[in-house]
Amino acid sequence: MRSMGLNPADFEGYLLAHKAGLPPHGGMGIGLERLTARLLELPNLRQACLFPRDCKRLRP
């Protein structure tokens, strides 16, 4: 961070989460579908997915 001119204090929460090691996770990003749903104020996340998955639709 310092080599890129960033202040590590600005990322304290993020670094603290990694201090003891994180369990396996899908990332810390919001995701394109979730961002799209929020921007368009959609009531259901599946409306923002190009290929939504459910019990009746397992393939695109």
Give the integer Cα–Cα distance in Å for 30 and 6: 22
What are the boundaries of each domain within the chain?
2-48
- pLDDT at site 5: 92
Using the structure block, give the residue that is written with the tokens 């003891």. Answer: 20
Question: Residues 6 or more apart from 41 whose CB is under 8 A from it?
Answer: none
3-state secondary structure the chain: CHHHCCCHHHHHHHHHHHHCCCCCCCCCCCCHHHHHHHHHCCCCHHHHCCCCCECCECCC
Predicted confidence (pLDDT) per residue in 3-58, tens digit: 989 999 998 888 888 887 877 766 667 788 889 999 999 999 889 988 777 777 66
Instruction: Decide: pTM greater than 0.85.
Output: no
Q: Write down the residue that tokens 């998955």 correspond to.
A: 53
